[in-house]
Structure 1
Amino acid sequence: MNREALQHPLYVIVHPFNGYWDLKYERSQKTSLMLSFGILFMLILTNVLGSQYSGFLVNHSDPKYLNSLMEAVYVLVPVLFWCVANWSLTTLMDGEGKFVEIFITTCFSLLPMVLINFPWIWISNYISAQESSFYYFFKNFAVIWSGLLLFVGIMTVHQFSPSKTVGTILLTVLAMAFMAFLTLLFFSLVQQMIVFISTIYQEIVLRG
């Protein structure tokens, strides 16, 4: 992986239209996929470290109940749901993006949340209550920046118009909510089955 390939994610977040076009038609998909996993890992690391080491003025996590694995899940599950939902919908809407291209586009759009939030993990330990507004400003700015990059990326990878991209994103969010509901329902049913089987087993053992 050469230096130009490593710098391309930075190029994408500053020049999203040209950057995403290069990703789709000119860049090596294998290299882009490796970079995507790297960005996703860095976002997970940022999320975990932020929950553990952010300043007490802005950190609302209780250390007693902090679970690093769950912090990783909070990043992985939304990304996976988004990619699956978007791919499923755009396949029906004549979108040109493949699943791997949607995943790469999504991960590249998350880079501002790493570049901005990671330094603020440490800066937040040295700010006053009045200065905490800067912390929230930059966190919100990172989310907005990532959202705009995701919008441009989805529009480019599927070759949609802006209005169709907006509709696709709204439908994708609804599909994600439906997927989350089915997932929770599935785990709830599994839990009830386990309890039921456990109860029957205990009855058999006691009567035996």
Structure 2
Amino acid sequence: MSTWSKELIKYPFNLITHPFNGFWDLKYENNKKDNLFISFVVLFLLVITNILHSQYSGFLVHIYNPKGMNSIMEIVYVVVPVLFWSIANWSLTTLMDGEGKFVEIFNSTCFALIPLVIINFPWIWLSNVIALEETTFYYFSTSFAVLWFVFLLFVGNMTIHQYTPFKAIVTMLLTVVAMGFMAFLCLLFFSLVQQIISFVSVIYQEIVMRN
């Protein structure tokens, strides 16, 4: 394995254990193409983790019918929130003197997702062999992964934009609100498109039947 490959593998783990230095390097020191490549790999691994979790997790921690699983929706559940967060955060921080570019926000968000992969992936298989009394360890680990993710997201937001801790927290809360607004607009748009298609379909059927 080349030195470049080793560094590419080691860097994400160094970032999540030393986030302040890691996100600083992400913004100012590292190769931008390498960062984007790692971001897409992390996003892909999280999608795979979610799909496998839906299919193979033990029934003690995940009551789900595998036959009803939709792989496309599992991809949407991961990719869309990341894109919404990146777009909303970039839009807000542009108005709030943030120094982060869109690609930097996207990269820092994806890097923050790493604990959700490295902690949750082993539990897909372990959840099939644990007893009911041991599910506490599962819920503790998954909660810890979420808290670690939120902490990394906070540090990344603070470092990428060069914000104070308070301003970073305020920005993150406003980003969540903006994401909700974006989701509402998307639902409204798709509902409008659906109604237009339905209306055109009815008109077409009327014309065909009369002819």
Q: How far off its partner does 1:3 sit? A: 1.2
1:51 is aligned to: 54
Q: Which amino acid aligns with 2:142?
A: K
CA-atom RMSD in angstroms: 0.8
Q: How far off its partner does 1:6 sit? A: 2.0
2:174 is aligned to: 171
CA distance in 1, matches of 2:75, 2:64: 15
TM-score of the pair, normalised by structure 2 = 0.97
**What does 1:1-208 align with in structure 2 at a 5 Å threshold?**
1-208=4-211
CA distance in 1, matches of 2:29, 2:176: 30
* 1:135-186, Cα deviation, whole Å (9 max, x unpaired): 1111111000000000000000000000000100010000000000000000
Q: How far off its partner does 1:59 sit? A: 1.4
* 1:71-112, Cα deviation, whole Å (9 max, x unpaired): 110000000000000000000111000000001100000000
TM-score of the pair, normalised by structure 1 = 0.98
Identity %: 64
Q: How far off its partner does 1:121 sit? A: 0.1
Q: How far off its partner does 1:62 sit? A: 2.1
Q: How far off its partner does 1:63 sit? A: 2.1
CA distance in 1, matches of 2:10, 2:28: 17
Structure 1 residue matching 2:184: 3-state secondary structure: helix
Uncovered stretches (5+) of structure 1, i.e. residues with no partner: none
Structure 2 residue matching 1:134: 3-state secondary structure: helix
CA distance in 2, matches of 1:7, 1:204: 65
CA distance in 2, matches of 1:74, 1:155: 25
CA distance in 1, matches of 2:61, 2:74: 17
Structure 2 residue matching 1:4: 3-state secondary structure: helix
Q: How far off its partner does 1:5 sit? A: 2.6
Q: Which amino acid aligns with 2:204?
A: Y
Uncovered stretches (5+) of structure 2, i.e. residues with no partner: none
Structure 1 residue matching 2:97: 3-state secondary structure: coil
Structure 2 residue matching 1:194: 3-state secondary structure: helix
CA distance in 2, matches of 1:4, 1:36: 15
Structure 1 residue matching 2:119: 3-state secondary structure: helix
Q: Which amino acid aligns with 2:26?
A: L
* 1:109-138, Cα deviation, whole Å (9 max, x unpaired): 000000000000000000111211211111
Paired residues, number:
208
Q: Which amino acid aligns with 2:33?
A: K
The list of structure 1 runs, each at least 4 consecutive aligned residues, that deviate by more than 3 angstroms after superposition, is: none
